[in-house]
Amino acid sequence: MSLYGMMRTGVSGMNAQSNRLSTTADNIANSSTNGYKRAKAEFSSLVLPSTPGAYNSGGVTTSIRYAITDQGALQYTTSISDLAVNGNGMFVVQDSAGNSFMTRAGSFVPNGKGELVNAAGFILMGYDASSGVPTATTNGFEGLVPVSLSQNELNATPSTEGSLSLNLPALAEDLSTGDVPSDNLATSKYTAKSSMQVYDDLGGQIVLDIYFTKTGADTWEVAVYNKADAGANGGFPYSSAALATETLTFDPTTGDYTSTSPTSVSLTIPGGQPFKIDLENATQLKADYTLFDSWSNGNAPSSIEQITIDGDGILYAQYGDGTTKALYRIPLATTRSDDMLTVLPGNVYRPSNESGSVLVGFPEDGTFGSVVSGALENSNVDIAEELTSMIEAQRSYTANSKVFQTGADLMDILVNLKR
């Protein structure tokens, strides 16, 4: 047996226990860090070749593993921008240099630019959803933009679609023998009328007058005018022609549309966008004219009053006029082996060769998990377990130091044999 080898073995044991104590210190220090994942020193033996009658002591080495996939408990807060992931995914964040990372630390608050940043200063990234449902780049972070909630500007959205749900009276008088709304005369008559509020490109309010007129058996004319063009009495004649007219036909036995009837009216809003009024839910039954529901999109100029974030990651802005609009969709990222991610300062992670490439998707899809607004993920550190580990490491370190001391004493005896 080599005395030098014995001493080196004792040193390797002390180094290993020192690493264990270092991870324990980190874990205890970050026991209150949101989204922190505990570190653990894993030991493996080093065995040196031996010969009969002579044993060569080896040693021990450590590798550090992180319990990234071990979810911490959720702690609910009063801040909507506090986010947690209930599942496997991680938020995508970016530093000031534009580098992208992954994190579970979701204590986001707006900075001076309105961007959502967490406690370490990383900016939350998402896909722009203001123009429609976004598509995720599944194998990278391309297309992501900072999630920004600037409340120092007004937002106006032009109307592009609306709908009316109503019943047209089957027993109404046939008015085809006289002047109807499409004639735009002072003598024009109609069966029923409803108005709809829409918005032009600059958020200006436009009111549409929508006339329904029975013009034959199971046949109805729909005429749409701009209320601003109405005559002195608030009706016909309008100073401009109808924005759109359409003829609806119904089945006399069911009260539903015939197979050849249109079910919508299309027009262009004055100073605005092409606009479609969906009438799919209209019926013709033996009852009075009844309007069940009226809806249109768009909003007047207004600022953001509050935000909401759904479990699927869609961030909605609620404006001062009560309207809501989807602004962003927050993605989640994962890898084949999240526990093998590279751990970096600021409680963020980066894919490594051992973890595999990144996979990006949306919350509530597959195994990504869901986003919980108004909650934070606590550290997954167990203080009692860490204190126990610290005591064990201390005792083991002391034992290894005794091995080294014994080897040194034997070496001293060997040196003194010559005296």
pLDDT tens, residue by residue, 104-154: 999 999 998 889 999 999 999 999 998 788 888 899 999 999 998 876 567
Confidence of residue 9 (pLDDT cuts 50, 70, 90): confident
Its domain, for residue 294, covers 156-301
Q: Is the pLDDT of residue 83 over 80?
A: yes
**Domain for residue 311, yes or no?**
no
- Comparing 113-117, 316-320, 349-353, the range with the smallest average pLDDT is 316-320
Whether the pLDDT of residue 317 is over 90: the answer is no
Count of CB atoms situated within 10 Å of the CB of 395: 11
Same-domain check for residues 373 and 389: no
Confidence of residue 6 (pLDDT cuts 50, 70, 90): confident
pTM of the model: 0.70
Same domain, yes or no, for 120 and 172? no
Residue 319 is assigned to a structural domain of this protein: no
Q: Report in angstroms the alpha-carbon separations of 399 from 59, 62, 80, 391.
A: 14, 18, 52, 12
What mean pLDDT comes out for the span 31-37? 93
312 domain-assigned:
no
Instruction: Report yes or no on 170 lying in a domain.
Output: yes
Query: 167, 290 in Cβ contact below 8 A?
Result: yes
**Residue 116 sits in the same domain as residue 209:** no
- How many domains, the chain? 3
Q: Are residues 27 and 43 in the same domain?
A: yes
Residue 160 included in any domain = yes
Instruction: For residues 132 and 165, state if they share a domain.
Output: no
Distance CA 48, CA 28 (A): 36
Question: Domain for residue 307, yes or no?
Answer: no
Q: Are residues 171 and 284 in the same domain?
A: yes
Domain limit, last residue, from 301, 334, 351: 301
C-alpha span between 74 and 143 (Å, rounded): 30
Residue 36 shares a structural domain with residue 96? no
Look at residue 320 in the predicted model and tell me its pLDDT. Answer: 74
Is the residue at 320 inside a domain? no
Main-chain dihedrals φ then ψ at residue 150, nearest 5 degrees: -75, 120
Kindly state the tokens that stand for 270: 């004055």
C-alpha span between 182 and 230 (Å, rounded):
14
391 and 356 within one domain:
no
260: domain CATH number? 2.60.98.20
Res 101: pLDDT: 96
Q: What percent of the chain has pLDDT over 70?
A: 98
Residue after which a domain boundary falls, among 248, 266, 301? 301
* 169 and 276 fall within a common domain: yes
% residues pLDDT > 90 (the chain): 74
96 and 179 part of one domain:
no
Of the pLDDT bands very low, low, confident and very high (cuts 50, 70, 90), residue 416 is confident
Decide if pLDDT at 1 tops 60. Answer: no
Does 360 reside within a domain? yes
C-alpha distances out from residue 208 to 172, 263, 296, Å? 23, 18, 11
Same domain, 261 and 174: yes
Label residue 133 exposed, middle or buried (CB < 10 Å: 0-12, 13-18, 19+): exposed
290 and 196 both lie in a single domain: yes
Q: Average pLDDT in the 95-109 region? A: 94
pLDDT tens string 150-172: 765 677 889 999 999 999 999 99
In the predicted structure, residue 59 carries a pLDDT above the cut 90: no
